[in-house]
């Protein structure tokens, strides 16, 4: 009930977008209307500490966004696709595991021009994260893997500041807390051929946060970023032959660099 009320309040906060004429801000300290495209390189690390499972490796990704800004208010829709060929360590080891991630978000916020060289832009929104991991095959010890599908629904609450540092350059750090609403994990245990059924687990507890520091110059921006998730134990669901499956608590960390172009 508490999560339902919080989610409803967030959705209510982002819904009343004013219908006014679009006007791009010439102020580099303000949020500007337009499209963005970008590229990412990152290092990905996933861990289930209670069972000793680790999945890690480099990833490459593309990003895109559209922002509508007017009279200091803004609405931004952005998306990200990332792919990695990862390593597994747990019941043995396994290499070259395909792992893809898709994320779609919408946020609503306002710019506050506090000084001629400094602004703050808080925002709130809704995000969806989808991850596909294909661990089919056998590990070094003969354990059999399977496909996993992971979905998160969450609410980002963040703050971007912009600081003029001379000439056309602006430094824009962002901090964000991600309120975890619900997770859904599908495990295709039929891939193992051991007689177990496919299963869907539900996750109800967790949180995330994000940090980035972008250097902006006209239409270009680049800089480092970090995403983190901590998700609690899921429910336990029967899989057949008297066994049950639980998604154990896990952590995901991703560190990367991004380059973006606005047009």
- For residue range 175-190, list pLDDT tens digits in order: 999 999 999 999 999 9
Residue 263 has pLDDT above 70, yes or no: yes
Residue 10 DSSP SS3: helix
Residue 3 has pLDDT above 70, yes or no: no
Q: Spell out the domain ranges in the chain.
A: 2-13+34-262
pLDDT, position 82: 98
pLDDT, position 12: 54
Tell which residue, 45, 77, 43, 81, has the closest CA to residue 61.
81
The proportion of the chain whose per-residue pLDDT surpasses 90, expressed as a percent, equals 89
Superfamily (CATH H level) for 2-13+34-262? OPCA outer membrane adhesin/invasin (2.40.128.100)
What is the longest distance spanned by two Cα atoms in the chain? 69
Mean pLDDT for 119-128 is 98
Q: What is the CA radius of gyration of the chain?
A: 21
User: Strand pairing partners for 151?
Assistant: 130, 184
What average pLDDT does the structure give for the chain?
Answer: 92
Q: Categorize the per-residue pLDDT at 200 as very low, low, confident or very high, splitting at 50, 70 and 90.
A: very high
One DSSP character per residue, 210-259 reads EEEEEEEETTEEEEEEEEEEEE----EEEEETTEEEE---EEEEEEEEEE
What contacts 257, CB < 8 A, 6 or more positions away? 40, 41, 42, 222, 223, 224, 225
pLDDT, position 167: 87
User: For the chain, where are the E strands, in sequence order?
Assistant: 34-48, 53-70, 73-90, 92-110, 112-115, 118-138, 144-164, 169-187, 199-203, 206-217, 220-231, 236-240, 243-246, 250-262
Residue 7 has pLDDT above 70, yes or no: no
pLDDT, position 86: 98
pLDDT tens, residue by residue, 139-170: 999 999 999 999 999 999 999 999 999 889 99
pLDDT, position 17: 43
Which tokens is 248 given? 């154990």
pLDDT tens, residue by residue, 57-108: 999 999 999 999 999 999 999 999 999 999 999 999 999 999 999 999 999 9
Tell which residue, 182, 183, 187, 181, has the closest CA to residue 200.
187
Positive or negative, the CA dihedral 48, 178, 77, 34 is negative
On the 0-12 / 13-18 / 19+ scale of CB atoms within 10 A, 42 is: buried
pLDDT, position 30: 94
- Whether the pTM exceeds 0.85: the reply is yes
């Amino acid at each position: 009930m508490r999560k339902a009320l919080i989610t409803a309040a967030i959705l209510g906060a982002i819904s009343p977008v004013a219908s006014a004429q679009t006007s791009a801000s010439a102020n580099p300290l303000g949020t500007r209307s337009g499209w963005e495209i970008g590229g990412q390189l990152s290092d990905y690390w996933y861990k289930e500490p209670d069972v000793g499972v680790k999945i890690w490796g480099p990833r490459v990704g593309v990003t895109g966004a559209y922002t509508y800004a007017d009279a200091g208010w803004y609405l931004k829709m952005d998306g990200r696709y990332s792919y990695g060929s990862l390593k597994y360590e747990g019941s043995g080891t396994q290499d070259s595991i395909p792992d893809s991630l898709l994320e779609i978000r919408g946020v609503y916020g306002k710019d506050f021009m506090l000084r001629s060289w400094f602004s703050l832009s808080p925002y709130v929104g809704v995000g969806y994260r989808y991850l596909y991991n294909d661990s089919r095959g056998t590990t070094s010890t003969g354990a059999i893997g399977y496909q996993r599908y992971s979905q998160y629904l969450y609410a980002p609450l963040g703050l971007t500041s912009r600081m003029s540092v001379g000439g056309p350059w602006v430094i824009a750090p962002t901090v964000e807390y991600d309120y975890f609403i619900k997770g859904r994990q599908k495990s295709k245990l039929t891939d193992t051929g051991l007689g177990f059924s496919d299963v869907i687990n539900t996750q109800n507890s967790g949180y995330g946060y994000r940090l980035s520091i972008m250097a902006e110059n006209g239409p270009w921006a680049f800089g480092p970023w970090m995403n983190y998730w901590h998700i609690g134990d899921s429910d336990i669901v029967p899989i057949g032959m008297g066994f049950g499956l639980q998604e154990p608590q896990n952590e995901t960390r991703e560190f990367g660099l991004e380059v973006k172009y606005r047009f």
